[in-house]
Amino acid sequence: MKVDFYRHSLAKDDADAVARVLDSAFLTTGKVSQGVEEQLAAYFDVPHALLCSSWTSGATAVLLALGIGAGDEVIVPAMTFIASANVVELLGAKAVLVDVDPHTLLMTSANVAAALTPRTRAVIPVHLYGQMVDVAELRKCLDEYAQANPEAGRRIAIVEDCAHCFEGKLRGVRPGADADAAVFSFYATKNVTCGEGGGMIFRDSDLYEAVRETRLHGMSAIAAERFSGGGYNHWDMRRLGVKANLPDLLAALLPDQISSIDQRLPQRQELADTYRRAFNQTPLRQPEMIDDCLSAWHLFAIGVEARNRDEAVRRLNQAGVSVTVNYRALPDLTYYGEKYPDAAAACPVSVEWGRQTISLPFYPGMPKEHQLHVIDTAMSQLVPLAVAD
């Protein structure tokens, strides 16, 4: 049996939405994107939303708008996808890697508090696998630091990495409620996707206005506005920006997915429950579930003994099961390991999980018999590899 890791669920109706954009005169960021931005703002109950061409380009635009650059520090968990830290390094700032909680694998306020310095300008909490970091608690922790260290000056911003968590909630609250900005990815494998793309939400109007510019070269008006009112309008450039806008051609794929995302979550929950029930009494490791957190269940990750992980991947592949690793911890990658040689010792939980973990096939619509085959293979082939000596 051949078991795919992931399959998207875009269909003929979505092709029709793209065709309607092709029929119009306007292919890039315009009315369709604006409609999706309004839809995003309503879904997350925030005043402002913007689309972007990827999480990475959007987060870069946000950090630029926050004025982050050389000499600044931004705190990032060591257990995440490289993009979360790369955006910081690309701007010449320093990605300060902190460890995650050994049970939930999420960034903790305590570890952030220990890493704060007068150079800290922002924190990027990552809602790994779909469970949410307690951003409200993090905000409190940053405010306490600011109060105790008035000489540190500027307020420390929170930019949530919501690439794994669109539809999740913590204590009934969706992402973005306690952050300066929350950034989503609509990359091909994410819960909401348009192939490549992303979204950003804001509560603060000034930051939103600044990101509108840093998202598009720093220009003071988008293309649709430059030609509004029947003629050409001049634009200005007040700050440096990147090219991070999303064209309507891709934005057209989003409205139906956003309006149906909450209805698709039970399918992810059912797959996750089936895996969890099967593995609960085994030595296979699983992240702990947080009370009162509705996980967006982006990925389903398990862990075996670190020295056996690659053998476990080989056995799954041999049984026709496609898997990935999310993620080897940042200090275990050459760039971060060489640049920050102390990070591995400072982040033992992240490093260990990064050496143990395997992500199993997991997507709405995954055939039942495929999941049973993955479970059978894991029970017979992986359980012995999960036993510690």
Q: Which of 29, 185, 193, 295 binds ligand PLP (CB under 6 A)?
A: 185
List own/partner pairs for 282-285 with CB under 8 A and 24 or more apart: 282/379, 282/383, 282/386, 283/383, 283/386, 283/387, 283/388, 284/378, 284/382, 284/383, 284/386, 285/356, 285/386
List the x/- string, 187-206, binding to ligand PLP by CB under 6 A: x----------x--------
* Segment contacting ligand PLP by CB under 6 A, of 12-20, 52-60, 255-263, 345-353: 52-60
The yes or no reply on residue 56 touching ligand PLP (CB under 6 A) is yes
φ and ψ at residue 68, rounded to 5 degrees? -85, 135
Instruction: Give me the least distance between CB of 360 and ligand PLP, in Å please.
Output: 16
Instruction: Give me the least distance between CB of 6 and ligand PLP, in Å please.
Output: 12
Q: Smaller CB distance to ligand PLP: residue 198 or 247?
A: 198
Instruction: Give me the least distance between CB of 324 and ligand PLP, in Å please.
Output: 11
* Segment contacting ligand PLP by CB under 6 A, of 7-15, 51-59, 91-99, 309-317: 51-59
Phi-psi region of 129 (alpha: psi -120 to 50; beta: other; left: phi over 0): left
The sign of the dihedral angle between the CA atoms of 107, 108, 110, 112 is positive
Annotated catalytic residue 190: yes
Q: Which of 83, 93, 132, 349 binds ligand PLP (CB under 6 A)?
A: 83
Question: Please, which residues have CB within 8 angstroms of residue 254's CB and are 6 or more apart in sequence?
Answer: 36, 39, 51, 186, 192, 194, 197
Q: What burial letters (b/e) apply to 227-261, b meaning 16+ CB within 10 Å?
A: eeeeeeeebeeeeebbebbbbbbbbbbbeebbeee
Q: Which of 99, 101, 160, 161 binds ligand PLP (CB under 6 A)?
A: 161
Instruction: Give me the least distance between CB of 164 and ligand PLP, in Å please.
Output: 6
Q: Which of 33, 60, 84, 120 binds ligand PLP (CB under 6 A)?
A: 84
Q: Smaller CB distance to ligand PLP: residue 90 or 115?
A: 90
Question: Please, which residues have CB within 8 angstroms of residue 307's CB and are 6 or more apart in sequence?
Answer: none
Catalytic member of 190, 243, 339, 368? 190
* Segment contacting ligand PLP by CB under 6 A, of 49-57, 60-68, 144-152, 304-312: 49-57
Instruction: Give me the least distance between CB of 234 and ligand PLP, in Å please.
Output: 32
How far, in Å, CA of 62 to CA of 268, rounded? 31
What residues between 332 and 371 interact with ligand PLP by CB under 6 A? none
The yes or no reply on residue 165 touching ligand PLP (CB under 6 A) is no
Instruction: Give me the least distance between CB of 184 and ligand PLP, in Å please.
Output: 8
The three-state secondary structure class of 161 is strand
How far, in Å, CA of 377 to CA of 131, rounded? 26
Q: Would you list the DSSP string of 6-49?
A: ------HHHHHHHHHHHHSS--SSSHHHHHHHHHHHHHHT-SEE
* Segment contacting ligand PLP by CB under 6 A, of 60-68, 78-86, 336-344, 370-378: 78-86
* Segment contacting ligand PLP by CB under 6 A, of 29-37, 48-56, 221-229, 261-269: 48-56
List the x/- string, 122-141, binding to ligand PLP by CB under 6 A: ----x---------------
How far, in Å, CA of 4 to CA of 2, rounded? 7
Residue 249 amino acid letter: L
Six token digits for residue 238: 């007040």
How far, in Å, CA of 221 to CA of 39, rounded? 21
The yes or no reply on residue 54 touching ligand PLP (CB under 6 A) is yes
Footprint of ligand PLP on this chain (CB under 6 A)?
54-56, 80-81, 83-84, 126, 161, 163-164, 185, 187, 198
> Which residues participate in catalysis according to the annotation?
190
